[in-house]
Amino acid sequence: MTKQLEGRLALVTGASRGIGRAVALALAKEGADIIAVARPRSQAALESLDDEIKALGQNCTLVPFDLKDGDAIDRLGASIYERWGKLDIFVGNAAILGPLSPLGHIAPKDFQELLDINVTANFRIMRSLDPLLKKSDAGRVIIVSSGSNGKAKAFWGGYMMSKAAVENLALTYANENLQNAIKSNVINPGPIRTSMRAKAVPGEDAASLPAPEDIAKLFVELASPACRHNGEVINFYDWAGLTLP
């Protein structure tokens, strides 16, 4: 039986844990080879992921680097071109929560870090990968946003600012590629059983939330060459028929 991502090459950021790890494994199970990006301090977790992906019969390339290193991002695009000549799937998952605080209490360095990791890194990666995605017969971009967008929720201003920005980058990219095979979409996960969620909402019953493996199925659908969604913001809870807690 042919797997729906057979022969595809996917780059996943934040691949060492949580949603990113689950997505990398789900894509590999459907036949994709994986380029797994995460922070250098996550090397051990990346190596464990590498073992699991290879056990599935797929190739995995580990790329540990700091997403604030724009030059490294540019080199990544060049390296992918030299080795594979194209890229089929980019999953922009890596992000930080930042301080949950009144806007007036956020330190400028913390605000800048939210921009650097949640927004600028995704822009730099999309810029670096753009020629590679255009070489694919069905380039797919999937950016992880937040269900909190548009709610102007008190104390979440820094995080929501960054997610609103990256969401609009993804949607703009969709409109800029209407005449080719690239499709770019956004996933709003909602509450998922991750370490970031536990940090944001301490005391919540994590067992009551969907696991990263549950949402990974949506990423597989959007990564498929058969996907016809483009320029859409897809709420996982709606897609899965779930009720928000």
pLDDT in tens, the chain (245 residues): 789 999 999 999 999 999 999 999 999 999 999 999 999 989 999 999 999 999 999 999 999 999 999 999 999 999 999 999 999 999 999 999 999 999 999 999 999 999 999 999 999 999 999 999 999 999 999 999 987 766 788 999 999 999 999 999 999 999 999 999 999 999 999 999 999 999 989 989 999 999 999 999 999 999 999 999 999 999 999 999 999 88
Q: Which pLDDT does position 68 carry in this prediction?
A: 95
Closest CA to 190 of 141, 155, 234: 234
CA–CA gap between residue 241 and residue 237 (Å, rounded): 6
At residue 2, the pLDDT reads 84
Calculate ∠ Cα 127-62-16, nearest 5°.
90
- Residue (of 123, 111, 21) closest to 74 by Cα position: 123
Q: Residue 41: count other Cβ atoms within 10 Å of its Cβ.
A: 10
Global confidence as pTM? 0.96
pLDDT of res. 222? 98
**pLDDT given at position 203:** 87
**pLDDT number for residue 88:** 98
pLDDT of residue 152: 81
| Given the residues 81, 159, 173, 237, the one annotated as active site | 159
Write phi, then psi, for 128 (nearest 5 degrees).
Answer: -70, -35
Q: Which segments of the chain are extended strands (E)? A: 9-13, 33-38, 60-64, 89-92, 140-144, 183-188, 233-235
Query: Within 13 Å of residue 174, how many CA atoms lie on the same side as its CB?
Result: 19
Residue given tokens 């992921």 in the structure block? 49
Q: How far apart are CA 3 and CA 166, in angstroms?
A: 31
**pLDDT of the residue at 1:** 72
237 is catalytic: no
> How far apart (Å, rounded) are the C-alpha atoms in residues 227 and 6?
15
User: CA-CA distance, 184 to 172, in Å (whole number)?
Assistant: 9
